[in-house]
Amino acid sequence: MEAGGLEWLLVPMQQLVSWGAAGAMVFGGVVPYIPQYRDIRRTQNAEGFSTYVCLVLLVANILRILFWFGRRFESPLLWQSIIMIITMLLMLKLCTEVRVSNELNIKRRSFAAADSKDEEIKAPPKRSYLDFDLNYFWHWSKFTDYVQCVLTFTGVTGYITYLWLDSSLFVETLGFLAVFTEAMLGVPQLYRNYQNRSTEGMSVKMVLMWTSGDTFKTVYFILNQAPFQFSICGLLQVFVDIAILFQVYLYSSYPQKPVSHTAHPASTKAL
C-alpha cells in the first residue's frame, strides 16, 4: 500500500520534471538575450553586441530544422530552433535600427537591389539589381535585407536537403553542421572582445546565462541520448563560453589600451 502510494506521487513528479526540462530547452536559449536587448534599447547603442552571433544562430537553427526532416529528434529541440530564429530576427531588427540612427554615413548598403539615389544623392538615379558587396556582408541598412538573406539561405538549403534527404551521409553531415555552427556562437563575441581589448558594451549577464544554459543543454543531450553531434558540440560551446568569461576577468582586472584600427562596418558585430 505504501509502495503504491509512493508510486502515485512519483509518477506525476517525474512528469512535471520532464515538462520543466522540455520547457527550459525551448525557452531557455532566448533568456540570455533579454538583458542584452534591454541594454541596447536603453542606451541606444549596439556597438558592444555583434550581429554576427545572430547570423550564427540563424544558420545553425535553420540547418537543425532541416536535419529534423531527415532524422526526427525530440520536439522540444525543434521548437527551440523556431523560437530562437524569431528571437534573432527581433535582435537584428533592433540592432539595425539603432546602428542606422547613430551613423552619419547616409550611403545605403543592401543585400539585393537598391536605388542608387538612396546611396549617392548627387548621382543620377539608376537601378542596380546586384548591390551585394562582400565587404558589407551582414552590415546592411535595413532589416528587410537581413530577412531577404535568411529567406534565400533557407530556400537554397531547403531545396538541397529535399534532393538529398534519402542520403544518410548527407543527413548526418547536415546535423553536424547545424550543431557545430551553433557551438561557434560565442566566437564572434570572443574575437570582438579581443579586438577591443575590452568587454565593455557586452552583457556579462548574457554570457553567464549562455554558460549555465549551454551546460544544462549539454547534460540534457547526454541524458536523453540525443544524436552524438549534439553532445560533442555542446561541450565545445561551454568551452567557448568559459573563454569569454575569462576575458571579462582579464580585461577588468588588467585594463589594456584598445588596438587602434580604422573603423569599418564589417568589423562591427552584434550577438
Q: Where are the domains of the chain?
A: 11-106+136-253
> Can you give the pLDDT at residue 108?
66
pLDDT digits (tens, 9 = 90+) for 76-98: 888 989 999 999 999 999 999 99
Evaluate if residue 230 carries a pLDDT over 70. Answer: yes
Cell numbers 544558420 correspond to 59
Assign 269 to helix, strand or coil.
coil
At residue 64's C-alpha, the angle toward residues 59 and 69, to 5°, is 130
The whole-angstrom distance between residue 97's C-alpha and the CA centroid of its chain comes to: 18
Whether the predicted model's global pTM rises above the 0.85 cut: no
pLDDT-above-70 percentage for the chain: 75
pLDDT bucket at 4, cuts 50 / 70 / 90: low
d(CA 57, CA 184): 9
Residue spans of alpha helices (H) in 44-185: 51-70, 75-102, 116-119, 143-164, 168-183
Instruction: Give the pLDDT score at 257.
Output: 59
> Which has more pLDDT, 255 or 106?
255
CB < 8 Å & 24+ apart, contacts of 46-49:
46/94, 46/95, 46/98, 46/99, 46/270, 47/201, 47/268, 48/199, 48/200, 48/201, 48/202, 49/95, 49/201, 49/202, 49/203, 49/269, 49/270, 49/271
pLDDT digits (tens, 9 = 90+) for 151-175: 999 999 999 999 999 999 999 899 8
pLDDT of residue 151: 95
